[in-house]
Every structure is written in structure tokens, then in C-alpha cells.
Amino acid sequence: HHQLDKNLNSKILFNDLRSSFNIDDYIHGHNDLVYDADKRKFSNLAYPNTSKFTLHHAT
């Protein structure tokens, strides 16, 4: 079973958002991505598992 490093994947996503769109974001609550200034949710992270792999899914 492959183990996904959620923190590492989140850091990669955040770095891309910051460098591409100048978005300062972070995880709040249960895997919600929010804007830093006003805490408005703009996405959600999910990590579904199967017997063969783990996925990183963002909406």
C-alpha cells in the first residue's frame, strides 16, 4: 500500500498557487483551502484510498 504525504502534497499545491496566482492560502478546518485574509473557502482537499493507491483530489 502506497502512503501519501498529505503535508508535502499540500505544500506543493500552495507553492504553485502562490507563485502562479499570488494567492496566500492555507488549510482550515477539515481540509478546506481558504484565503488568508478573510478565511473564505475556495477549495477542498480529499485523499481517497484504494487497496492499490492513494489519490490527492482538490475541488
Q: Tell me: the pLDDT tens digits for 28-59? A: 777 787 877 677 888 887 777 777 777 767 66
Residue 1 lies in a domain: no
| Domain annotation covers residue 31 | yes
Q: Angle at CA 5, nearest 5°, toward 24 and 43?
A: 40
User: Residue 50 has which C-alpha cell?
Assistant: 484504494
Q: Is residue 22 part of a domain?
A: yes
> What's the confidence (pLDDT) of residue 59?
65
Looking at residue 15, its pLDDT comes to 84
Cell of residue 28, nine digits = 482550515
pTM: 0.57
Domain that holds residue 26: 6-58
Say how many domains are in the chain: 1
